[in-house]
Amino acid sequence: MTKLTNRLTVYCGFVVGILGAVESRSLFAQEPTERGWVNVNAIVQGTTHTFSDRVQFATNSEEGEIFTEYAVRRNVVIDVMGGVRLWRYIGVGVGVMRSSQAGVSNTSTARVPHPFYFRRHRQVTGPTATDRTDTQIDIHGTAILPTGRRVRVMVFGGPTVVQVQQGLVTGVTTRDSYPYNTVTFQSYTKQRHNVSAIGFNVGVDVSYFFSDYIGVGGLVRYSRATVDFTAADGDTLQVVTGGPYVGGGLRIKF
Amino acid sequence: MVTIVRSRLLYPIVLCGVLLLVSERSPAQEPELFGTVVPAQLATPSTRSTLATADIDGVRQWDGYVQSLIRDGSLRLNRMDENTVIEGHAHERFTQYFRGVRIYGSGISRELVGGLAVSLSGIVYDNVDVDTSPTLSVDAVVSRVLPALGDDVMDVPELIVLPNPDDTYTLAYLVDVINDSEFTLYRYVLDAHSGDVLRRFDAFRTQDGKSSLGKGTKGDTKKLSVVRRPTWNVDLALDKLRPVDGINTYDMGFDTMRGWDHITRGTPFKDTELAATPSGREWEDAMVVDAHAYLGWTYDYLYERFLRHGLDGRDGRIKAIVNWPHPNMRLNKYLGGYFCNAFYFPPPRNLIFLGSGLTRSFTDGRNLRPCNPLAGAFEIVAHELVHGVTATSSNLIYWMESGALNEAFSDILGVSAEFFHASKGSGLPYAANYQIGDTTWVRPIRDMADPSRHFDFIYSDGSGAINHPDHYGSRWLPTDPKKPADAGWVHRNSSIVNHAFYLAIEGGRNRRSNKTVQGVGASNRADVEYAFYQAFTYHLNPTSTMRAARYWTIQKAPTAAARRALLAAWEAVGVHANQEVRVKFRSVSKRTSASCSLAMQIDITTGAKRFDVSSLRFDLHSVYGDARLREATVSASRFREYFGRSSIPPHTTVRSSLCWTAPSSHVSLELDLTGRLGNGVNGQYYSGRWQSFYNR
């Protein structure tokens, strides 16, 4: 809890700082008129996250291992943000984004000990498909920077709650026969992990309104969180999630 | 037999007697003629046909003859194997029978491709003339050998036709006799009419280990293929992971009589006799660990190198016993020798035994040398298992030259298996080398690189060194041809073949011939191993000689470089292609006469070609340490004087009786005959080494 509290304190302080800066600048600008807004975006994650896992296992009186590389690739997802203006240029909002990917891992490589000899592992690579679902809830303070009647710029930031459901390979089944110099891949087992973490997000949204209510816009956002998985052999696997996002879509204000 | 000196020879004897006084200082003194020269006599042409051909014309010619013998039932097929390495090649093994009685040592190996013969090797006996009706019945033989020679016979005595060296034949019985009180097991060949012992040799294929000081257990950890028996809550030393019908390691629990019954009477083993340890627990008996693991390693070597399925090529069960006999037998005259020894017991037992070793504290004060457990040396375990390969393929008789080949093949594959696993990083706890038993005794018992550098030691203080031959001319001859020690020095004469194998791989120079060999190099050792494996498992036969081994290893060399290396190696060790002139000690005896302390009768027999003698060299060595005491070369003219003629017609034997002085009582003597055959080819022929003393 201490870690979580510290992170929240840092992120909230960061947001308050931004809002304070905007507020001091806004003394010289026209005040926005909307009470609230909804942004619906199609966004692309800007980076591919990779991580790997080594699972140790014991067989034939020796230790073997399964090595799996996971890659969370760029993905287009729908992101919905909404918020209300509280006072003058300052508001609060919340955004929800959900991303699902299949084939986060494609193959695993197993090193299986030889039944008769030490340090003569047989290596085999086989298909081990896993999937992943990221659900990200961004809570942010927003500064609305009016730059004209039709254009609106919003700067936002705040804590992010991330929930990651990730399948991890826990074992493989191989088959071998004398002289046991090779093994063939038979099947694999995986375990679905469901973990949450707190991170942060910051971003800028630029909108152009065709009318008083409807417009289009684009955003750039950066969010980051680190989740911890407990791997099959008991080790902790730290995985970074988030990153830069770029997207655009419909803008509604009221 | 010594004959009376004729008066016309007195003058040269007196003259030479004077010269002998000088010879104490001059090492170049000729032996003296003291007996009669037997006029050249026509030797009876051999009644045996030795086949060794891969030449198409030769094969066609011989195969017609072989086919006729198959048709009339003289040759019977006893085994057929597919060549595991050369696809489409099959090998048939035939045994020859005469009127339904097996001819001992006969055998033909025929290589087939698509049903056509492409090579033939072996021996068939022509014009066999022997009455096959024994005077003694089987029961009479058993009652004759029991209890005179032992307590029990292993199997029913087999009636055989025994070919004699002089090309005559004797009807005989072959019988293995167990002596429980002395713990001996000898194979006897008995005359089927008189019951006389014609031959006796040890029925075990032994390691012939000599005790010496060595390090203890290597302390390495090995993986074992075992079977869990949940109902007993134990793991058993039974290998079921390999395709073999079990590699079974039995723990005799130092029960002397139980082991003895298994070995000699074939008492079936029970699973309760398998070595065992509580389920899941590490094995603590180092003997069991090493024996069980190394048997598996040997199986793997044979499979991975030659695709051979185990000891018999058919994945038959492999059995080994350890922890036998009881330690209180360490001073037993016979069993005491097995603490520092190992053996393979041939079919139907197919059993390997590995001795428990002798501690230094036990041997102190006794004329014994300590040794580590035999199972701790991988090349020794592999050596014993390869005896099983031989027994189920060429079946080289454990006797004289074929016995030396039998031993050599075990050494060669034993060492090769060691190099194979060392290169694979299998966890061999010591460096692979060309020595046998170097981790078991303080000195190796055989060294392929330089056989003469390593010795047998007669005495525990290291004195009485007997060197091993590295040349065919130095091969040891038996002191008693009927009951030769070490079956005709099979463990020593094997060093000639071992050295040829070494030279073909590593190259080098042979000490005696001074010939240099360009080896194929260690990285190509598989080529030489392949040639030996093919030759020894598919082409050699029960009575094959080193000359046959030379022929077939060169024939089967897979590359031109290997062929060149093998040719040079065999030449360097004195195993030449042409060995048709025989130089033989008919008799040698020691005398007390100062001028004639060594009396000998020498026979020289030609083959199909005339032979013109150039020289006959006499070489006298000390038995211990092999120091040269004296040498002499007899020219053609002196040869004529001694033997009556120096140009010897085909199929003729000349004989002479000579004497020489020996400065020591423990001497060995070799003869080296050079000359030219009738076809103009130069030839060099060796008598082998006669020794005046030392009987194991």
Following DSSP, what letter does each residue of B108-160 receive, concatenated? EEEEEETTEEEEEEEEEE-S-------SS-HHHHHHHHTTTT-SEESS--EEE
Q: pLDDT class for B366, splitting at 50, 70, 90?
A: confident
Cβ–Cβ contact A208 with B under 8 A: no
Q: pLDDT class for A64, splitting at 50, 70, 90?
A: very high
CB neighbours (10 Å) of residue A179? Answer: 15
CB neighbours (10 Å) of residue A51? Answer: 17
Q: What is the DSSP string of B572-600?
A: HTT--S---SEEEEEEEEE---SS-SEEE
CA distance A123 to chain B (A): 16
Which pLDDT does position B26 carry in this prediction?
A: 36
For residue A205, the domain's CATH number is 2.40.160.20
Q: pLDDT class for B85, splitting at 50, 70, 90?
A: confident
Q: What dihedral angle (degrees, nearest 10) is formed by the CA atoms of A8, A11, A13, A15?
A: -130
pLDDT at B525 over 50: yes
Cβ–Cβ contact A180 with B under 8 A: yes
Q: Which two tokens stand for residue A10?
A: 């840092």
Q: pLDDT class for B696, splitting at 50, 70, 90?
A: very low
Question: Shortest CA distance to A253 belongs to which of A33, A89, A43?
Answer: A33
Question: Sign of torsion, CA B522 B524 B526 B528?
Answer: negative
Q: Where are the alpha helices (DSSP H) in B284-372?
A: 286-306, 360-363
Cβ–Cβ contact B638 with A under 8 A: no
Contact, A9 vs A198, CB < 8 A?
no
**Class of the CATH-defined domain B393-577:** mainly alpha
pLDDT at B242 over 50: yes
3-class secondary structure per residue, B386-425: HHHHHHCCCCCCCCHHHHHHHHHHHHHHHHHHHHHHHHHC
Domain boundaries, chain B: 7-44+582-691, 138-203, 393-577
Cβ–Cβ contact B143 with A under 8 A: no
Give dist(CA B550, CA B567) in Å, integer. Answer: 8
Q: Which two tokens stand for residue B447?
A: 């060294």
Q: pLDDT class for B1, splitting at 50, 70, 90?
A: very low
Cβ–Cβ contact A234 with B under 8 A: no
Question: Mean pLDDT across the stretch A216-235?
Answer: 89
Give dist(CA A39, CA A203) in Å, integer. Answer: 13
Q: What dihedral angle (degrees, nearest 10) is formed by the CA atoms of B572, B574, B578, B581?
A: 160
User: Tokens 């040890």 appear where?
Assistant: B202
ipTM of the complex in this document? 0.78
- A87: buried, middle or exposed (CB in 10 Å: 19+, 13-18, 0-12)? exposed
Q: Which residues of B touch A116 (CB under 8 A)?
A: 223, 225, 241, 293, 296-297, 300, 426
Contact, A90 vs A26, CB < 8 A?
no
Question: Shortest CA distance to B386 belongs to which of B293, B438, B313, B456?
Answer: B313
Burial string for B135-158 (b: 16+ CB within 10 Å, else e) reads: ebebeebbebbbeebbebbbeebe
Give dist(CA B466, CA B451) in Å, integer. Answer: 11
Which pLDDT does position B147 carry in this prediction?
A: 72
Q: What dihedral angle (degrees, nearest 10) is formed by the CA atoms of B11, B14, B19, B24?
A: 150
Q: Which two tokens stand for residue A8?
A: 């929240």
Q: pLDDT class for A16, splitting at 50, 70, 90?
A: low
CA distance A181 to chain B (A): 10
Q: B494: which DSSP letter?
A: H
* CATH fold group of domain B138-203: Nuclear Transport Factor 2; Chain: A, (3.10.450)
Q: pLDDT class for B547, splitting at 50, 70, 90?
A: very high
Cβ–Cβ contact B114 with A under 8 A: no
CA distance B310 to chain A (A): 12
Most B-contacting residue of A59, A116, A119, A181 (CB-CB within 10 A), to test interface: A116
Give dist(CA A108, CA A126) in Å, integer. Answer: 6
CA distance A116 to chain B (A): 5
Burial string for B29-40 (b: 16+ CB within 10 Å, else e) reads: bbbbbbbbbbeb
Cα–chain center distance at B230: 45
Q: Between A and B, how many CB-CB pairs are < 8 A? A: 36
Give dist(CA A205, CA B696) in Å, integer. Answer: 102
Q: Which two tokens stand for residue B31?
A: 């032996």
For domain B7-44+582-691, is the CATH number 1.20.1090.10?
no
Question: What tens digit of pLDDT does each residue of A171-224 get?
Answer: 898 888 889 999 999 888 888 899 999 999 999 999 999 998 999 999 999 999
Q: How far is CA B348 from CA B206, B268, B315, in A?
A: 17, 12, 15
Nearest CB to B427; choose among A115, A118, A178:
A118
Cβ–Cβ contact B279 with A under 8 A: no
Cβ–Cβ contact A118 with B under 8 A: yes
Nearest CB to B304; choose among A115, A119, A179:
A179
Q: Which residues of A touch B300 (CB under 8 A)?
A: 116, 179
* Whether A62 and B424 lie within 8 Å, measured CB to CB: no
* 3-state SS class at B338: helix
Give dist(CA B358, CA B209) in Å, integer. Answer: 12
* 3-state SS class at B207: coil
CA distance B297 to chain A (A): 8
User: Tokens 């077939």 appear where?
Assistant: B552
Domain hosting residue A139, numbered range: 2-253
Computed over every residue of chain A, the mean pLDDT equals 87
Q: How far is CA B127 from CA B74, B104, B401, B605, in A?
A: 12, 15, 24, 21
Question: Mean pLDDT across the stretch B601-617?
Answer: 94
* Whether A60 and B242 lie within 8 Å, measured CB to CB: no
Contact, B438 vs B649, CB < 8 A?
no
Omega before B429 cis (within 30°)? no
Give strand pairing partners of B249: B320
* Whether A120 and B424 lie within 8 Å, measured CB to CB: yes
Question: What tens digit of pLDDT does each residue of B312-322 get?
Answer: 999 999 999 99
Nearest CB to A117; choose among B223, B242, B303:
B223
Question: What tens digit of pLDDT does each residue of B105-155 get?
Answer: 888 889 999 888 888 888 888 888 889 999 989 888 888 777 778 778 877
Q: Which two tokens stand for residue A74?
A: 């760029």
Most A-contacting residue of B241, B295, B423, B424 (CB-CB within 10 A), to test interface: B241
Q: Which helix (H) or strand (E) holds B280?
A: none
Q: Which residues of B touch A179 (CB under 8 A)?
A: 300, 303-304
Nearest CB to B427; choose among A117, A179, A180:
A117
Question: Shortest CA distance to B157 belongs to which of B123, B131, B191?
Answer: B191
Contact, B656 vs B642, CB < 8 A?
yes
Q: In what order do the strands lie in the sheet with B227-229?
A: B227-229, B234-236, B276-278
More confident residue, B194 or B28: B194
Question: What tens digit of pLDDT does each residue of A77-115 get?
Answer: 999 999 999 988 899 999 999 999 998 999 999 999 998
Q: Which residues of A touch B294 (CB under 8 A)?
A: none
Contact, B148 vs B177, CB < 8 A?
no
Q: What is the pTM of this model?
A: 0.82
Question: What tens digit of pLDDT does each residue of B453-495 get?
Answer: 765 655 555 555 677 899 999 999 987 777 788 888 898 999 9
Backbone torsion region of residue B115, taken as left when φ is above 0, otherwise alpha when ψ lies between -120 and 50, otherwise beta = left
CA distance A66 to chain B (A): 22
Question: Sign of torsion, CA B355 B356 B359 B362?
Answer: negative
Q: How far is CA B635 from CA B563, B580, B669, B675, B689, in A?
A: 36, 21, 18, 11, 21
Q: pLDDT class for B212, splitting at 50, 70, 90?
A: very low
* B221, closest residue in chain A (CA to CA): A118
Contact, B165 vs B154, CB < 8 A?
no
Cα–chain center distance at B688: 15
Contact, A143 vs A90, CB < 8 A?
yes
Nearest CB to B223; choose among A118, A178, A179:
A118
Contact, B512 vs B574, CB < 8 A?
yes
Give dist(CA B613, CA B113) in Å, integer. Answer: 44
Q: Which residues of A touch B293 (CB under 8 A)?
A: 116
**What is the number of structural domains in chain A?**
1
Q: Which residues of B touch A59 (CB under 8 A)?
A: none
More confident residue, B334 or B632: B632
Nearest CB to A60; choose among B223, B300, B427:
B223
CA distance A117 to chain B (A): 6
- B159: buried, middle or exposed (CB in 10 Å: 19+, 13-18, 0-12)? buried
Cβ–Cβ contact B315 with A under 8 A: no
Give dist(CA B144, CA B141) in Å, integer. Answer: 5
Which pLDDT does position A62 carry in this prediction?
A: 87
Cβ–Cβ contact B265 with A under 8 A: no
CA distance A244 to chain B (A): 50
- pLDDT over 70, % of chain A: 88
For chain B, percent helix, then strand, then coil, each to nearest 5? 30, 30, 40
C-alpha angle with apex B559: B553 to B562, nearest 5 degrees?
55
* B299, closest residue in chain A (CA to CA): A179
Q: B695: which DSSP letter?
A: -
Q: Which residues of B touch A178 (CB under 8 A)?
A: 241-243, 303
3-class secondary structure per residue, B161-198: EEECCCCCEEEEEEEEEEECCCCEEEEEEEECCCCCEE
Amino acid identity of B23? S
Q: Which two tokens stand for residue B56?
A: 């198409």
Q: pLDDT class for B417, splitting at 50, 70, 90?
A: very high
Give the length of chain B: 696
* 3-state SS class at A68: strand
Cβ–Cβ contact A254 with B under 8 A: no
